[in-house]
């Protein structure tokens, strides 16, 4: 017999694990939660909000997006290559989840779009400060407090290592290590895996997706998120599905600079590849998933955003073409200084030159290609964009030195998918549930075929909280039916 006994063990304490623990404890199950780090919240502490459809915020604001429309949008966007039953349950529960969180003291600013073409599904958590990054930390904190209030035993700096089964194939325990590295076993009847994918494990990213972290992929990650949940579940017999990058292109190396730099360089201006050729209507750059896909198929998976000083001056005087709730300071007057300082510090993602030829030399873009493209592009600015049909109001010529360029690479919010689950978040082996094993959040988020569904923003953390909640309720039902 082991040192510890409990009904359900949740690994780990991101939004999926926290929601699972609360939901299971609310149903009356005895729950323990192990979290590798010393704090709850996982990668979601950097995020802002969750998807919901038909929430009271949307109804109050007159937003008429229905669950029916959202499910159809999602299925069509993902070419029916995803589990429709899971999407239906997730979206159908999502409005109630907002109220469930409000019942714990979480407040929301309302329902927002991420960019103009997206729907207003992003329920941003209220913090008492200006809307911006890391708002979701407050939600994670409230979930952790509610879990403790319900008697969930939370063990920080403990690492789930191996799922144990009895002779009949049912879950019987979890092997873990404590903060000084000692092994211990918790006897339990159900395990919920929610370890957040593999965003902090470059080898696994390379093996599973082909991207090289820091070379042709600049995704967000945490060193604690190393694919443990995927490996534990696969070892326990879970069906293995593709692990994907939750694609969102990034100005590689630019997000450490003052927001005015990415704010200017992510505007819908000229975008070229290493041959100096345009590849798309730059207005679509706002959907960073599309931009990431477009970057992925280029030589070296690399694109360059290019502006001249007249465009920068225009943004300083008249404001940006596109503002962002994430980079929430629209004042770009420090742009030139910030670029100069970045260059002094040796930043290799942003470039400045007095001529386009010099800009080509510095970036490695084919000079002839770039000069020809700028000539054509400047012509389109005077007439119409006959190449990619960008709106005329977004066409600004590249004429006045100094010229600036920034690299754009595939990036993302980590990995998603890998463990096959059904709509009850039961982990499947050969399409049959492994009795007592559940998964939620990024580890089990097989909902984005080849592209993150950014038209319904808040989708990945929304899935984390909702799938965690489903896993907790279902696991509680399972263990309580056995007692
Ligand atoms: C900058 C940024 C902004 C984002 N903004 C949004 C947003 O606004 N809306 C949205 O929908 N999505 C957003 N996302 C994505 C969102 O954060 C993820 O969808 C969400 O965090 C997934 O939740 P999770 O619980 O599955 O995993 P995580 O939040 O990644 O948590 C996983 C947890 O597992 C722990 N862990 C790992 N292995 C073990 C182990 N073996 N034992 C114990 N613990 C372990 C980790 O320490 C971590 O705490 C954002 C992501 C980033 C990086």
Interval 192-220: pLDDT, tens: 999 999 999 999 999 999 999 989 998 88
Ligand 1 closest atom vs CA 199: 30
- pLDDT-derived band of residue 4, with 50, 70 and 90 as boundaries? confident
Kindly state if the Cβ of 49 falls inside 6 Å of ligand 1: yes
Ligand 1 centre to CA of 200 (Å) is 11
Residue 263 CA to residue 339 CA, distance in Å, equals 12
Q: What is the DSSP string of 170-218?
A: -EEEEEEE-TTS-EEEEE-SEEEE----STT-HHHHHHHH---BTTTBE
Task: Take residue 230 and report the two structure tokens written for it.
Answer: 């995927």
So what's the pLDDT on residue 273?
A: 98
CA dihedral sign, ordered 140, 32, 478, 162: positive
Nearest to 34 by CA among 198, 174, 170: 174
Query: What percent of the chain shows pLDDT beyond 70?
Result: 98
Ligand 1 centre to CA of 420 (Å) is 18
Ligand 1 centre to CA of 78 (Å) is 22
Task: Tell me the pLDDT tens digit for each residue of 295-321.
Answer: 999 999 999 999 999 999 999 999 999
* Contact predicate 21/476, CB 8 Å: no
Give the list of residues 6+ apart from residue 169 with CB closer than 8 angstroms, or none: 434, 435
Q: Where are the beta strands (DSSP E) in 37-139?
A: 49-51, 108-112, 122-125
Kindly state if the Cβ of 194 falls inside 6 Å of ligand 1: yes
For the segment 426-445, the average pLDDT, to the nearest whole number, is 98
For the segment 176-183, the average pLDDT, to the nearest whole number, is 96
Residue 281 CA to residue 54 CA, distance in Å, equals 32
So what's the pLDDT on residue 292?
A: 93
Q: Choose the residue to mutate in 45, 119, 195 for probing ligand 1, maximizing ligand atoms within 8 Å of C-beta.
A: 195
Kindly state if the Cβ of 225 falls inside 6 Å of ligand 1: yes
Kindly state if the Cβ of 461 falls inside 6 Å of ligand 1: yes
Residue 237 pLDDT > 70, yes or no? yes
Residue 375 CA to residue 100 CA, distance in Å, equals 56
Ligand 1 centre to CA of 445 (Å) is 12
For the segment 128-156, the average pLDDT, to the nearest whole number, is 97
Ligand 1 centre to CA of 467 (Å) is 13
Residue 378 pLDDT > 90, yes or no? yes
Q: Kindly give the interhelix angle for 309-318 and 335-344, rounded to the nearest 10 degrees.
A: 130
* Contact predicate 322/115, CB 8 Å: yes
Task: Take residue 36 and report the two structure tokens written for it.
Answer: 């590798």
Residue 8 CA to residue 479 CA, distance in Å, equals 8
Kindly state if the Cβ of 464 falls inside 6 Å of ligand 1: yes
β-partners of residue 352 are 404
Quote the pTM value. 0.96
CB atoms within 10 A of CB 129: 9
CA dihedral sign, ordered 204, 205, 209, 210: negative
Burial of 103 (0-12, 13-18, 19+ CB in 10 A): exposed
Chain-centroid distance, C-alpha 475: 26
Chain-centroid distance, C-alpha 377: 33
Q: How many angstroms separate the Cα of 334 from the Cα of each of 80, 277, 327?
A: 46, 29, 14
* Contact predicate 24/189, CB 8 Å: no
Ligand 1 centre to CA of 87 (Å) is 20
- pLDDT-derived band of residue 366, with 50, 70 and 90 as boundaries? very high
Kindly state if the Cβ of 199 falls inside 6 Å of ligand 1: no
Ligand 1 centre to CA of 413 (Å) is 9
Nearest to 39 by CA among 138, 183, 175: 138
So what's the pLDDT on residue 450?
A: 85
Nearest to 456 by CA among 446, 447, 465: 447
For the segment 151-170, the average pLDDT, to the nearest whole number, is 98
So what's the pLDDT on residue 1?
A: 43
For the segment 344-370, the average pLDDT, to the nearest whole number, is 97
Residue 471 pLDDT > 50, yes or no? yes
Over the range 371-399, which residues count as b (16 or more CB within 10 Å of their CB) and which as e?
bebbeebeebbeeebeeeebeeebbbbbe
β-partners of residue 5 are 187
So what's the pLDDT on residue 255?
A: 65
Task: Tell me the pLDDT tens digit for each residue of 245-275.
Answer: 998 887 666 667 899 999 999 999 999 999 9
Could you give the domains of the chain?
Answer: 4-246+414-482 (3.50.50.60), 260-409 (3.90.700.10)
Nearest to 351 by CA among 406, 307, 274: 406
Task: Tell me the pLDDT tens digit for each residue of 49-84.
Answer: 999 999 999 999 999 999 999 999 999 999 999 999
């Amino acid at each position: 017999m082991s040192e510890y006994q409990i009904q359900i063990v949740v690994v780990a304490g991101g939004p999926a694990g926290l929601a699972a623990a609360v939901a299971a404890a609310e149903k009356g199950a005895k729950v323990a939660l192990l979290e590798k780090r010393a704090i709850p919240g996982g990668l979601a502490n950097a995020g802002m909000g969750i998807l919901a459809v038909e929430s009271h915020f949307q109804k109050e604001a007159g937003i008429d997006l229905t669950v029916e429309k959202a499910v159809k949008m999602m299925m069509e966007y993902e070419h029916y290559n995803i589990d429709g039953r899971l999407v239906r349950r997730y979206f159908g529960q999502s409005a109630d989840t907002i109220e469930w969180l409000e019942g714990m003291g979480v407040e929301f600013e309302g329902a927002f779009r991420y960019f103009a073409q997206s729907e207003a599904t992003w329920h941003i958590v209220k913090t008492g400060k200006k809307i911006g990054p890391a708002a979701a930390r407050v939600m994670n904190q409230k979930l952790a407090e509610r879990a403790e209030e319900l008697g969930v035993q939370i063990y920080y700096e403990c690492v789930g290592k191996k799922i144990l089964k009895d002779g009949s194939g049912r879950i019987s325990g979890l092997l873990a290590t404590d903060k000084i590295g000692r092994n211990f076993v918790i006897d339990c009847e159900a395990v919920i895996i929610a370890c957040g994918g593999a965003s902090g494990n470059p080898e696994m990213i390379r093996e599973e997706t082909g991207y090289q972290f820091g070379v042709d992929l600049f995704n967000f990650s945490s060193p604690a998120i190393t694919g443990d949940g995927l490996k534990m579940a696969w070892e326990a017999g879970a069906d293995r599905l593709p692990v994907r990058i939750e694609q969102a292109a990034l100005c590689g190396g630019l997000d450490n600079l003052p927001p005015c730099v990415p704010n200017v360089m992510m505007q819908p201006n000229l975008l070229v590849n290493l041959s100096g050729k345009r590849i798309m209507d730059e207005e679509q750059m706002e959907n960073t998933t599309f931009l990431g896909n477009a970057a992925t198929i280029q030589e070296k998976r690399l694109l360059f955003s290019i502006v001249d000083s007249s465009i920068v001056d225009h943004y300083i005087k008249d404001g940006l073409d596109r503002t962002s709730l994430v980079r929430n300071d629209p004042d770009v007057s420090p742009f030139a200084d910030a670029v100069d300082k970045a260059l002094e510090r040796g930043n290799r993602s942003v470039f400045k030159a007095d001529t386009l030829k010099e800009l080509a030399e510095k970036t490695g873009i084919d000079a002839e290609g770039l000069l020809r493209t700028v000539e054509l592009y400047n012509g389109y600015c005077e007439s119409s964009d006959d190449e990619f049909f960008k709106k005329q109001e977004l066409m600004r010529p590249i004429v006045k030195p100094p010229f600036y360029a920034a690299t754009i690479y595939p990036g993302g919010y980590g990995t998603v998918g890998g463990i096959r689950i059904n709509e009850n978040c039961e982990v499947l082996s050969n399409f049959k549930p492994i009795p007592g094993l559940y998964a939620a959040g990024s580890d089990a988020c097989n909902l984005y075929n080849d592209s993150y569904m950014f038209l319904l923003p808040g989708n990945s953390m929304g899935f984390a909280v909702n799938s965690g909640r489903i896993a907790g309720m279902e696991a509680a039902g399972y263990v309580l039916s056995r007692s």
